[in-house]
Chains A and B, each alone.
Chain A
Amino acid sequence: MKAPILESRHVTHRFGGQAALKNISFSIEKGEVVGVIGRSGAGKSTLLRFLCALETPEEGQILLDGIDLTKQPENRLIEIRRHIGLVFQHFNLLTSRTVASNIALPLQIAGRPRREQQERVNELLELVGLAGFGEKYPSQLSGGQKQRVGIARALAANPTLLLCDEATSALDPESTTSILNLLTDINRKLGLTIIIITHEMDVVRRFARRILALDHGKLIEDGTLIDFLSDGGQKKTLQPLLADIRPKLPNDVAQQMCETDSPGAAIIMRVVHSGEGVMPPFFGALAQRFTLDAALLQGGVTTISGQPVGDMIVSLRGERRDEAVEFVKELVKSMEVLGYVPHHP
């Protein structure tokens, strides 16, 4: 195993006696793309300020490249911050400076020669797709373009880590897509470790391979989204967050559905499958082998961090229903029974 680039060890912090973060531990390797998700008040922003060395937690350690950020003097922290790129929700570009001058600021702070600054700025403008925009002012740009400048600025000093704080939350869906694609591209091209903090599961679904879920200051989950989707609904704390991106039970079915089975009732199941073949063609197989009514109520195949995943709600009804359920269970990654719809002759 490679040495982690970023590590949080038992980080705990309180605001006015109230715990904002409780015993947060995780480690991130170089090149990883991690989404930190949680609703507002979950402690995401507090954690971010610790990760980028702007503030220090009361207890615990934050290690960046093996250096404990909680034990450094302020002048050392100033130096360390130059190796962490930060992208903001509201861009935070200086309105008094041109685009080029905004991107050059971290280089200026690091005291690089003017020639080098210019070359790097042109390189970055090219990378984020804003070549020729250098002399414009931020007020002349759209939200998506401003965020591209924000990303270019964060990358200017060749950071070891890129932190994105709700980087797409202030953008329209189209710009969100283009920014996420840009970040994915940057991760692939530069091998840069990226952490994106967000309350939108959809952002994580499209972007992050690994998820850290925060709730009320606690780290409740650490794993891949596919794992969470296919755990058969055991992780109740995660369900509200996942609900945004999962197929929902149609209303009319939800009304008819009950928890107990009855003769001739249809079984309603959530089925998740990923990897090879994505969704085995079981509807056809079921109808033929077990002479069933098999229906797809909601859902289909979506892409989760570049991997196709089938997430759907199906209904099965017929004489040999239970045999069919066993057959499906063998075939897919996970299966969860949601309820039964009684038979009305």
Chain B
Amino acid sequence: MSPIILNVILHATLQTLEMVFASTAFSVLVGLPLAVFMIVTGPNGLYRLPIIGRLVGIIVDALRAIPFIILLVVLIPVTRFIAGTSLGTEAAIVPLSIAGIPYFARLAEVSLREVDMGLVDAVKAMGGTRLTIIRSVLIPEALPSLIGSLTVTLITMVSASAMAGAIGAGGLGDLAIRYGYQRFNTTVMMDVVIVLIIMVFIIQMVGNSLTRWLRH
């Protein structure tokens, strides 16, 4: 493999990593509060706001219903507004995050729902406020499971970022399509696939061991 190709692959890998981690960070930053909101406003929740709670749920599901490749195109004006351009790695972070937020929100909601309601009761009976319950019961108790959700989201973002490559986001997906597919360069194609596989393996491995460590 020529040093030039190696350099191109390295560059694309860094772009992919940037997209994956930045969009996942936004997904967690916005998705986790959304998930908590859906849990605490749900039936038997800490706050009884069933209508607003359901509304948020509907928006989350609507966003999840749109296939990512379509979302990419639909969101171009939004992307342009936020990032100043619809092209490049930074711009791709916008649609990736918007797809990632509802995805992580639903996964995190499941994780939070698994928390034993007896623990919520226990802290309530101790005189804990609702904020205390969220901070010291819901999130810490769901943390191992939330890390699992985070791992799944990261891996989903890896494949979504490859799709974003198709509309000029750069990264490994872009490389595979332009060099591998359009120029019939099978070596580059294979190299990209191997890099992606290794990336996913590492994410999964780190996620698993983190979950195990947190479960005590």
List chain A positions with a Cβ less than 8 A from chain B.
52, 54, 78-82, 84, 86, 88, 90, 92, 94-97, 105-106, 108-110, 137, 139-140, 153, 157
Contact = CB atoms under 8 A, between A and B. Distances in A.
A87 to B, nearest CB: 10
Contacts of B141: 94-96
Interface in B117-134: 118-119, 121-129, 132
A96 B140 contact: yes
Nearest to A77: B127
A79 B143 CA distance: 29
A86 B122 contact: yes
Contacts of A54: 121, 124-125
B126 A82 contact: yes
Given A54-B121, A88-B122, 11 more contacts: A81-B124, A82-B126, A82-B127, A88-B118, A92-B119, A105-B126, A106-B127, A108-B136, A109-B123, A110-B127, A139-B216
A92 B118 contact: yes
B116 interface: yes
A94 B119 contact: yes
B138 to A, nearest CB: 11
A94 B136 contact: yes
Given A78-B129, A109-B132, A92 B124 contact: no
A2 B119 CA distance: 36
A105 B123 contact: yes
Given A88-B118, A92-B119, A81 B143 contact: no
A52 to B, nearest CB: 5
Contacts of A82: 126-127
B40 interface: no
A80 B116 CA distance: 24
Contact of B118 (A90, A96, A97, A109): A90
A86 B119 contact: no
A82 B132 CA distance: 13
Residue of A92, A97, A139 contacting most chain B CB atoms (<10 Å): A92
B117 to A, nearest CB: 10
B105 interface: no
Interface in B128-154: 128-129, 132, 136-137, 140-141, 143
A105 B127 contact: no
A103 to B, nearest CB: 11
Contacts of B118: 88, 90, 92
A110 B143 CA distance: 25
Determine the main DSSP class of B at the interface with A: helix
Query: Which 6 pairs, one residue from A and one from B, show the smallest C-beta to C-beta distance?
Result: A82-B127, A81-B127, A92-B122, A96-B140, A137-B216, A92-B118
Interface residues of B, number: 21
Contact of A94 (B121, B125, B137): B137
15 contacts: A78-B128, A81-B124, A82-B126, A86-B125, A88-B122, A90-B118, A94-B141, A95-B141, A96-B214, A97-B140, A106-B126, A106-B127, A109-B126, A139-B216, A153-B126
A80 B137 CA distance: 20
B157 to A, nearest CB: 27
Given A92-B118, A94-B140, A81 B216 contact: no
A97 B129 CA distance: 18
A110 B125 CA distance: 13
Contacts of B137: 94
A82 B128 CA distance: 8
B127 to A, nearest CB: 4
A78 B125 contact: no
B216 A92 contact: no
B43 to A, nearest CB: 15
Contacts of B143: 96
Contacts of A139: 215-216
B127 A78 contact: yes
Contacts of A78: 127-129
Contact of B127 (A80, A90, A96, A153): A80
Contact of A109 (B116, B121, B128, B215): B128
Contact of B126 (A96, A137, A140, A157): A157
Contacts of B140: 94, 96-97
Interface in B74-119: 116, 118-119
A140 B116 CA distance: 18
A81 B214 CA distance: 31
Nearest to B144: A96
Nearest to A75: B129
A90 B127 CA distance: 19
A333 to B, nearest CB: 41
Contacts of B119: 92, 94
Contacts of B132: 109
Nearest to A78: B127
A109 B216 contact: no
Contact of A92 (B121, B127, B136): B121
Contacts of A95: 141, 215-216
